[in-house]
């Protein structure tokens, strides 16, 4: 079996000290060197994946907006849903999202929440134990009732949340200031986001950028500039900025991304499903841009399975370039692990190495789909499913063991989520009036 020892370990074992990896290697070896220690043992051990762009709180909207393009999808379905959810529903939505992530092998999420009740998602992440870089969404124009906020209020609320949650839950949770996208934010809001990120050490910025053509046309009509140039102008590029999508960028915008060290999160399933386009991620990597991987939200994917996302990322590049050697498993795997960790800003995350953070998952391979197992990396990128994950650990704490999530009652979350009735009519009317 071929594998990079620092990333994937077949028939592996792991010993932790607190939140760090003490030792990791083949089961046989660790049984000898650590005979009396508590060990994690699994068919395959690998770093937990980093979902570098998700919307946990959109989890109640899976299947409500299929077969639409971005702005219809957003203004006719997703914004009305976010505007309608009560505090309790937002909490259930977030829990459902984190549950799906933890169950299928994502241990860190870069999470775009919603405008209201963001504290419920922070608390839910803390309760379940997932690692996250996340923030309340900022929207101060072209936004429906229930989401539209006055600029100062949106920024003040952000600052309150930074004070409360940045570094919370043993520093598993960090804050990202998250303007929704340039379409729904004023210049003052975008510049205010940069100021807040500069004021608080370790706070990052996460937003959507250049996902589809209607979006960049809207920004160009508003500002006279290409979207990435506009974001650069107002301070939203740099090593502390993670931009989701970046499908529609020209040469000069790509230079800006590379020069500023801005991170890009590729979301292939979402880009395919909303027919947004194919992001030029190999060009980005060639330029030295850090590219991470994300599932985006359940209403546009419609799964949060990181293994499916790795597969889609590779296949999309192969067909786009008509080159079967494009996007090999090792590069895609790095996007889903270390590159995501770099984007999220957590150091010593995303590899199985001594003294690195013990964010680890284990998969079973005693299944038909994994037999015979010629190449474990190939298996993980092209054949594995999130369902194969049986063990999830964050910071040395076990979140799922033998397929059972430990910190929360998963049945109860699913039951409550299943009973929520979405009635979007009024909110949809309001959203239509502000649609670009």
Ligand X SMILES: Nc1ccnc(=O)[nH]1
Contact residues for ligand X, defined by CB under 6 A: 55, 70, 74, 78, 180-181, 208, 211
User: Which residue lies nearer to ligand X by CB, 211 or 331?
Assistant: 211
User: Which residue lies nearer to ligand X by CB, 79 or 370?
Assistant: 79
Nearest distance from C-beta of residue 55 to ligand X, angstroms: 6
User: Which residue lies nearer to ligand X by CB, 74 or 352?
Assistant: 74
Nearest distance from C-beta of residue 147 to ligand X, angstroms: 11
Nearest distance from C-beta of residue 168 to ligand X, angstroms: 24
Nearest distance from C-beta of residue 65 to ligand X, angstroms: 11
Nearest distance from C-beta of residue 219 to ligand X, angstroms: 12
Nearest distance from C-beta of residue 371 to ligand X, angstroms: 38
User: Which residue lies nearer to ligand X by CB, 208 or 226?
Assistant: 208
User: Which residue lies nearer to ligand X by CB, 316 or 338?
Assistant: 316
User: Which residue lies nearer to ligand X by CB, 181 or 356?
Assistant: 181
Nearest distance from C-beta of residue 390 to ligand X, angstroms: 31
* Residue nearest ligand X, Cβ-based: 208
HEC readout, the chain: CCCCCCCCEEEEEEEEECCEEEEEEEHHHHHHHCCCCCCEEEEEEEECEEEEEECHHHHHHCCCCCCCCHHHHHHHHHHHHHHHCCHHHHHHHHHHHHHHHHHHCEEEEEEECCCCCHHHHHHHHHHHCCEEEEECEECCCCCCCCCCCCHHHHHHHHHHHHHHHCCHHHHCEEEEEEECCHHHCCHHHHHHHHHHHHHCCCCEEEEEECCCHHHHHHHHHHHCCCHHHHHHHCCCCCCCEEEEECCCCCHHHHHHHHHHCCEEEECHHHHHHCCCCCCCHHHHHHCCCCEEECCECHHHCCCCCHHHHHHHHHHHHHHHHCCCCCCCHHHHHHHHHHHHHHHHCCCCCCCCCCCCECCEEEECCCCHHHCCCCCHHHHHHHHCCHHHEEEEEECCEEEEECCEECCCCHHHHHHHHHHCCCCCHHHHHHHHHHCC
User: Which residue lies nearer to ligand X by CB, 44 or 78?
Assistant: 78
């Amino acid at each position: 079996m071929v594998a990079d020892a620092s990333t994937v370990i077949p028939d592996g074992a792991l010993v932790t000290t607190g939140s760090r990896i003490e030792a990791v290697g083949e089961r046989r070896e660790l049984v000898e060197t650590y005979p009396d220690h508590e060990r994690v043992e699994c068919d395959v051990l690998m770093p937990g994946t980093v979902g570098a762009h998700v919307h946990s709180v959109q989890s109640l909207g899976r299947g409500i907006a299929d077969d639409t393009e971005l702005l219809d999808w957003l203004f006719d379905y997703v914004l009305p849903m976010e505007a309608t959810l009560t505090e309790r529903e937002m909490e259930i939505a977030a829990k459902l999202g984190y549950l799906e992530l933890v169950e299928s092998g994502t241990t860190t999420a870069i999470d775009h929440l919603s405008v209201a009740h963001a504290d419920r998602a922070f608390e839910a992440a803390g309760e379940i134990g997932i690692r996250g870089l996340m923030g309340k969404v900022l929207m101060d124009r072209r936004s429906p009732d229930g989401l539209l906020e006055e600029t100062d209020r949106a920024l003040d609320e952000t600052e309150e949340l930074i004070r409360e949650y940045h570094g919370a839950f043993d520093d598993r949770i960090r804050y990202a200031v998250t303007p929704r996208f340039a379409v729904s934010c004023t210049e003052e809001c975008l510049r205010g986001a940069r100021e807040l990120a500069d004021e608080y050490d370790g706070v990052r910025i996460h937003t959507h950028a250049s996902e589809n053509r209607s979006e960049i046309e809207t920004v160009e009509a508003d500002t006279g500039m290409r979207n990435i140039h506009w974001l650069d102008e107002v301070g939203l590029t740099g090593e502390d900025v993670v931009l989701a999508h970046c499908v529609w960028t020209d040469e000069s915008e790509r230079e800006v991304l590379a020069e500023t060290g801005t991170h890009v999160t590729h979301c292939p399933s979402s880009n395919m499903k909303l027919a947004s386009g194919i992001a030029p991620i190999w060009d980005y990597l060639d330029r030295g841009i850090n590219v991470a991987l994300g599932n985006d939200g359940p209403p546009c994917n419609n799964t949060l399975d990181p293994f499916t996302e790795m597969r889609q990322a590779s296949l999309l590049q192969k067909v786009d370039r008509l080159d079967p050697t494009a996007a090999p498993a090792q590069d895609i795997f790095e996007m889903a692990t270390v590159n995501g960790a770099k984007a999220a800003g957590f150091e010593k995350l995303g590899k199985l190495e001594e003294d690195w953070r013990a964010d680890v998952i284990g998969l079973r391979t005693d299944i038909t789909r994994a037999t015979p197992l010629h190449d474990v990396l190939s298996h993980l990128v092209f054949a594995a499913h999130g369902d194969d994950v049986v063990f999830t650990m964050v910071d040395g704490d076990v979140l799922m063991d033998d397929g059972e999530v430990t910190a929360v009652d998963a049945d109860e979350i699913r039951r409550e989520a299943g009973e929520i009735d979405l009635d979007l009519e009024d909110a949809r009317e309001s959203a239509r009036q502000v649609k670009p």
